[in-house]
């Protein structure tokens, strides 16, 4: 399996008469974008805006963030728009770096968050460093929350694909080549290096808490062995409204920091054997079943060490812990990545579940810590929705325009795939 990523660095995004990339400046025609998105008759109104790093701009409530991408021959995000699909992780994919699609509009579920483009909130989110093409969607009144979520999700992916395709004629890009070999060849080629695998937990709990793999809701699949190139090429997209701080957006999936580090060390310090995608389920029986199947797949990969990342908080910590416990009991050394929910004073129990076998834990910080965000010059979206989101409350909006929120409320602030600036130390 071979994948080439042709990365085009976008220096600026503007609205203009045509859709084009010229001198690394992305120009977008508002009318054509509106016509594209309103092909879905469930969308009543749509508006577009641009938020740039350093601007006094606040975006909320944010539903998803997607990096614009397109295949030279084939479909990016396979399984989303067509019944027939090709395997992700092969061929040539164009990537527009430095910009992203951000979806907003009336709130779907209470667990949506904000992006600040300037200090101090900007220091908690990688999205503040991107030029964000913000799409504000208003649904038709008859849609229920689940159809509302689907409408916004598909609109974001559709726009990311459309804008990504503007790059297909560009000849100025940075090329990255990736090769993924079979398990047998990796054994043979890097026999002396420690064999490491990655358990990729993904939200699959229904109630607006879902992830999609090749277009299929992951709560309907069992743990599966997948390749990192598939993840990097759009096989997984976000469809959930979990806590914004720990939410894995589609951008996070495409740019998973754990995968990037494992690939960087592959063949040098470790032998990266593969990934097990583990759906995080609701009932204890389903959790134990998926734990058993995940561990079986890890053993089939021959891994001696494993990294497990989490998504969400609360009962997903049980999935994290039982998989860690089962692996450690089989003498497979395991490192887990989780956040802490230690209360605003940091004195509460940090984790809702734990096992003695979890001896190597990477913390992405206390999500309950609070921050006072300054008044900004421009709001894209609806400020009042902060009262109904995780990390906010009815007292969040101050009389002088400032905003008091928990770190939880900032999109991706303690992302559990490593795309974060926040961490913790032992004192």
DSSP-assigned letter for residue 119:
T
Q: How far apart are CA 271 and CA 266, in angstroms?
A: 5
Neighbours of 117 (CB within 10 A): 25
Query: Would you tell me the crossing angle of helices 30-37 and 145-165 to the nearest 10 degrees?
Result: 140
Q: What Rg, from alpha-carbon coordinates, does the chain have?
A: 21
Q: Find the Cα–Cα–Cα–Cα dihedral 219, 223, 224, 228, rounded to 10°.
A: 90
Q: How far apart are CA 212 and CA 252, in angstroms?
A: 14
**Catalytic residue flag (residue 99):** no
Q: Classify strands 361-366 and 333-340 as parallel, antiparallel or unpaired.
A: parallel
Q: Which residues contact 218 (CB under 8 A, 6 or more apart)?
A: 202, 204, 210, 211, 212, 277, 279
Do 306 and 334 form a contact (C-beta atoms < 8 A)?
Answer: yes
Among the options 99, 241, 291, 324, which is catalytic?
A: 241
**DSSP H stretches of helix in 236-375:** 250-254, 257-265, 284-301, 316-329
Buried b (16+ CB within 10 A) or exposed e, 279-289: bbbeeeebbee
Q: List C-alpha distances in Å: 39 to 63, 76, 134, 267, 371.
A: 20, 19, 18, 47, 40
Residues classed as catalytic? 241
């Amino acid at each position: 399996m071979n994948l080439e990523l042709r990365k085009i660095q976008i220096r600026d995004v503007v609205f203009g008469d045509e859709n084009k990339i010229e001198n690394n400046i992305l120009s977008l025609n508002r009318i054509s974008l509106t016509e594209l998105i309103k092909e879905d008759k469930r969308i009543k109104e749509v508006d577009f805006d641009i938020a740039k790093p350093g601007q006094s701009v606040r975006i909320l409530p944010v539903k998803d963030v997607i990096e614009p991408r397109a295949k030279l021959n084939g479909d990016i995000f396979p399984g989303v728009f067509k019944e027939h699909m090709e395997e992700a992780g092969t061929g040539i994919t164009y990537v527009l770096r430095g910009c992203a699609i951000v979806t907003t509009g009336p709130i779907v579920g209470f667990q949506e968050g904000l992006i600040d483009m300037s200090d101090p909130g900007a220091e908690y989110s990688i999205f503040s460093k991107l030029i964000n093409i913000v799409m504000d969607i208003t649904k038709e009144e008859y849609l229920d929350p689940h159809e509302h979520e689907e409408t916004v999700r598909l609109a974001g992916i559709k726009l990311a694909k459309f804008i990504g395709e503007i790059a297909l004629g560009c000849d100025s890009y940075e090329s990255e080549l990736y090769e993924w070999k079979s398990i047998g060849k990796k054994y043979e080629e890097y026999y002396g290096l420690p064999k490491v695998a990655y358990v990729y937990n993904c939200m699959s709990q229904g109630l607006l808490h879902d992830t999609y793999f090749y277009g299929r809701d992951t709560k309907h699949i069992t743990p599966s062995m997948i390749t990192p190139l598939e993840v990097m090429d759009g096989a997984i997209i976000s469809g959930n409204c979990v806590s914004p701080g720990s939410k894995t957006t589609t951008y996070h999936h495409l740019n998973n920091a754990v995968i990037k580090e494992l690939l960087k060390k592959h063949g040098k310090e470790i032998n990266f054997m593969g990934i097990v995608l583990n759906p995080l389920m609701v009932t204890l029986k389903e959790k134990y079943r998926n734990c058993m199947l995940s561990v079986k797949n890890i053993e089939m990969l021959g891994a001696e060490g494993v990294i497990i990342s989490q998504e969400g908080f609360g009962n997903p910590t049980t999935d994290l812990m039982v998989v860690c416990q089962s692996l450690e009991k089989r003498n497979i050394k395991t490192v887990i990545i989780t956040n802490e929910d230690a209360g605003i004073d940091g004195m509460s129990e940090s984790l809702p579940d734990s096992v003695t076998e979890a001896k190597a834990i990477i913390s992405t910080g206390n999500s309950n810590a609070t921050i006072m965000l300054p008044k900004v010059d421009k709001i894209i979206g609806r400020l009042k929705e902060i009262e109904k989101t995780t990390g906010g409350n009815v007292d969040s909006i101050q009389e002088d325009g400032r905003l008091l929120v928990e770190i939880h409320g900032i999109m991706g602030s303690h992302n559990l795939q490593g795309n974060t600036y926040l961490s913790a130390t032992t004192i």
